[in-house]
């Protein structure tokens, strides 16, 4: 007698079971990702210096490699590269601060004139009104201001500590970064270690390419802005060009902020006409960057769609402010590199499995023929 097949454990159709499985997988993946992001935010005092060190190392690695070939010492080469980085960053910050401080008086006078024309009043009037309002609010405001000063000092201490930690990490990454593949080989199984090394190389190449391309674009933007500001005789042109160079690492937001500062400095020094000309220079440089530099340079390193860049910057700014916006795009480029390597590895494994399945019948036929021979 023919036995009836047992009833299915799933009373739902097959498509409903597959949809439920996919939904559960998505929920689990989103939950794990949210947990990872929450952990990273809580450990931001260590995570942010590490990520900044990775970005800086991706830029300094070619310099450290050349120095190592010349002086035959990884430690000395890494130390020289870190010294170059500190000098460049320190000089850039000095130029930017000096340009803004020197132009602050002119900016205040220009804002006074604009406020008087609009009937709002001068900046001094606004400061006086704010002071009177603070006095009327009593001791609560004093305690709030004291707490704000304490938070400011604490933030400055965290920035200093994070900077020192980042420089130390850069030194060790430049000196000992070549040992990372062997560390993975000794820690993971052989097959997993090989795949992990390939993904790390792909992510590093994507992030390094993006940072090199962005640095080249930032340098060209800064030179073009410097030429325009010197022609317009804007004071502190070198510092403003340095600000444009730094702002180029934050897509969209950085260009807006650095351009706004340049226009304000021009407004405070030479009036509305020069400010409009400065605005025209900034917009022209942005058009050159968007239509010429980005397609030519970034397409040779790593290409990200503008919509992905905007989403990455917005999400990074929501999570970590300016630092998050700075880190978002290179980390997204690294993630796309890992995804591309994973897709290639999965495709290679699928082709290998398909070839194995096709070869099995031939192998079985050969074995049967050999077994049937006398």
More confident residue, 207 or 6: 207
Highest mean pLDDT among 4-13, 41-50, 101-110, 319-328: 41-50
**Residues 324, 316 contacting (CB under 8 angstroms):** yes
State how far the Cα of 62 lies from the Cα of 16, in Å rounded to an integer. 53
- Number of CB atoms found within 10 A of residue 298's CB: 19
Domain boundaries, the chain: 35-173+190-348
Residue 87 — pLDDT band, cuts 50, 70, 90? very high
State how far the Cα of 369 lies from the Cα of 258, in Å rounded to an integer. 79
Q: What is the largest CA-CA distance in the chain?
A: 111
Residue 133 — pLDDT band, cuts 50, 70, 90? low
Q: Please say if the pLDDT value at position 46 is more than 70.
A: yes
Which residue, among 255, 241, 246, has the nearest Cα to 309 in the 3D structure? Answer: 255
For 89-146, the DSSP string reads HHHHHHHHHHHHHHHHHHHHHHHHHHHHHHTS--HHHHHHHHHHHHHHHTHHHHHHHH
Lowest mean pLDDT across 5-14, 87-96, 156-165: 5-14
Q: What average pLDDT does this structure show over 261-274?
A: 81
The pLDDT, as a whole number, for residue 76 is 92
The pLDDT, as a whole number, for residue 121 is 53
Residue 227 — pLDDT band, cuts 50, 70, 90? very high
State how far the Cα of 251 lies from the Cα of 309, in Å rounded to an integer. 8
Residue 183 — pLDDT band, cuts 50, 70, 90? confident
Residue 170 — pLDDT band, cuts 50, 70, 90? very high
The pLDDT, as a whole number, for residue 2 is 52
Residue 355 — pLDDT band, cuts 50, 70, 90? low
The pLDDT, as a whole number, for residue 45 is 82
Average predicted confidence (pLDDT) for the chain: 78
Q: Please say if the pLDDT value at position 372 is more than 70.
A: no
The pLDDT, as a whole number, for residue 338 is 80
């Amino acid at each position: 007698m023919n036995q009836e097949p047992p009833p299915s454990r799933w009373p739902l159709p097959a498509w409903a079971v597959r949809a439920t499985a996919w939904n559960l997988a998505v929920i689990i993946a989103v939950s794990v990702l949210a947990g990872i992001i929450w952990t990273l935010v809580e450990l931001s005092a260590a995570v942010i210096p590490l990520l900044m060190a990775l970005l800086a190392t991706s830029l300094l690695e070619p310099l450290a490699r050349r120095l190592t070939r010349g002086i035959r010492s990884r430690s000395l080469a890494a130390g020289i590269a870190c010294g170059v980085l500190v000098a460049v960053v320190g000089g850039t910050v000095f130029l930017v601060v000096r340009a803004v401080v020197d132009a602050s008086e002119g900016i205040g006078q220009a804002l006074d004139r604009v406020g008087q024309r609009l009937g709002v009043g001068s900046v001094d009037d606004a400061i006086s009104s704010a002071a009177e309002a603070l006095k009327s609010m009593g001791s609560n405001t004093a305690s709030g201001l004291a707490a704000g000063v304490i938070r400011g000092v604490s933030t400055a201490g965290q920035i200093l500590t994070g900077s020192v930690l980042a420089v130390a990490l850069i030194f060790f990454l430049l000196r000992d970064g070549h040992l990372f593949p062997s560390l993975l080989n000794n820690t993971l199984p052989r097959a997993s270690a090989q795949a992990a090394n390939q993904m790390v190389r792909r992510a590093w190449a994507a992030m390094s390419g993006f940072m090199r391309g962005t640095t080249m674009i930032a340098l060209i933007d800064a030179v073009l802005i410097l030429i325009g500001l010197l022609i317009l005789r804007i004071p502190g042109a070198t510092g403003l060009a340095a600000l444009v160079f730094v702002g180029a690492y934050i897509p969209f937001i950085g260009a807006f902020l650095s351009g706004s500062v340049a226009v304000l400095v021009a407004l405070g020094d030479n009036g509305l006409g020069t400010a409009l000309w400065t605005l025209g220079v900034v917009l022209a440089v942005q058009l050159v960057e968007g239509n010429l530099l980005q397609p030519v340079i970034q397409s040779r390193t790593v290409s990200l769609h503008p919509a992905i860049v905007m989403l990455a910057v917005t999400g990074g700014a929501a999570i970590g402010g300016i630092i998050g916006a700075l880190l978002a795009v290179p980390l997204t480029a690294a993630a796309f590199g890992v995804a591309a390597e994973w897709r290639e590895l999965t495709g290679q494994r699928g082709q290998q499995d398909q070839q194995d399945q096709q070869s099995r019948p031939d192998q079985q036929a050969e074995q049967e023929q050999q077994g049937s021979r006398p």
